[in-house]
Chain A
Amino acid sequence: MRSGRLVWFLISIALGVAAGLAYGWVFNPVQYVNTTPDSLREDYKTDYVLMVAEIYEGDGSVDLAVKRLQLLADDAPLRIVQRAIITAQELDYSNRDLDRLGRLSLELQNWSPEAEELQP
């Protein structure tokens, strides 16, 4: 009899967990609002980096490009662009867009945070 009570007790715990999950996942699921750029899906991040590369192509400002890239991740800007190039290749981006990303990547190889701090 005692073991029977224990079984029912465990079952009630499981029901409690199930009720909590059902509430959290079905009746009141998480609403995705107020997120930040670093949470974007990888292909959106890649397009974000492509936008930065397109802008860099127009204004030639590597510092602004770095500031924009830093919103995407805590990584070094060069790493962010390199990761974007890999994803862009996987997603069959056009050669022109890959060139844009490549040019930004090349420029970032010569960029260092110290150089940015020395800017007036």
Chain B
Amino acid sequence: MNESRGPWYLLTGVVIGLALGLLYAWLIDPVAYIDTAPDTLRPEFKDHYRSLIALAYQSNPDLGRARSRLALLGDERPAFELGAQAQQVLAQGGSQQEARALAQLAAALGEAPHAADEPANSPPASSNGESPSPGGDPLPSATPDERLAVMSPTPPPAASATPLATFTPRVALLQPTPGVAFVLRERELVCEENFTAGLLQVEVVDRNRQPLPAVRVDIAWDEGQEFFFTGLNPRRSPGYADFRMAPGVLYSLRVGEGGEEVNEIAVPQCETADGFSAGGWKLVFAEP
């Protein structure tokens, strides 16, 4: 009689086993995320982490340390991410200090040679109690290891992994002098093929013609006003910023606090083989 039941009981056992496994994994002892690395953070927390790195860099301008911290986030283009976030903060009416910090760090990354700050790629120090390099500043490993993230209902004791030591040559950050009234030095009409129509390019330099990041640029027109900072496109130049003008609108522009006001800027017309097309302007401002 029993023999006629066949092997179905085996399948029943497997199903019961699977059910027990899932019951244990999902209800009795569900996954708890602990010991994770910054690159696994939710996007908004990554943004928060990035802001902290930039603000910390503003207080303690150690570029190697900032670079190592950014590496933890796993961004492919850290300077670009910083610049984009600075723009986003400004667009959302966020903290100007935060936007400025992000822009400054983006600019510093853009101008500093990466080779000088190699700890981001350094192997992590051993965890057998050896101390990091003398004089170095400790940091968590720049190479997040997913294997270190474990599933456990019980938090383990404090991590023993020795953080990376950063041996950081200081890179001087060009800081604009507060209250500097920048004056217009050059005004160039840009009429090039494939040029973005109506693009107003602003370059801010110091007395030695070195580009200056994080300088505020105010622009106003009849129906509104806006401001932005230099350095948000560090690949181009730390002192560079741009603005897209609308055709038929007159703009006034000022760089820095109390700087020279440049008025009646409008989208220029460039003569081409086919007639006319919209061009742009390139303005260079410098410390007096």
Contact = CB atoms under 8 A, between A and B. Distances in A.
Contacts of B37: 32, 40-41, 44
Interface residues of A, number: 54
Given A37-B45, A44-B140, A10 B36 contact: no
B52 A32 contact: no
Contacts of A46: 140, 163
A39 B33 contact: yes
Interface residues of B, number: 58
**Interface residues of A: mostly helix, strand, loop or mixed?**
helix
**Interface residues of B: mostly helix, strand, loop or mixed?**
helix
B59 A57 contact: yes
Contacts of B201: none
18 contacts: A12-B11, A13-B17, A16-B16, A20-B25, A34-B40, A35-B33, A36-B45, A43-B159, A44-B37, A44-B72, A47-B139, A51-B56, A52-B52, A55-B52, A55-B56, A57-B60, A58-B58, A92-B162
Interface of B: 2, 9-22, 25, 31, 33-38, 40-42, 45, 48-49, 52-53, 55-56, 58-60, 69, 72, 97, 131-132, 135-141, 146, 148-149, 151, 158-163
Interface of A: 1-2, 5, 8-21, 24, 30, 32-37, 39-44, 46-48, 50-52, 54-55, 57-59, 68, 71, 86-88, 90-94, 96-97
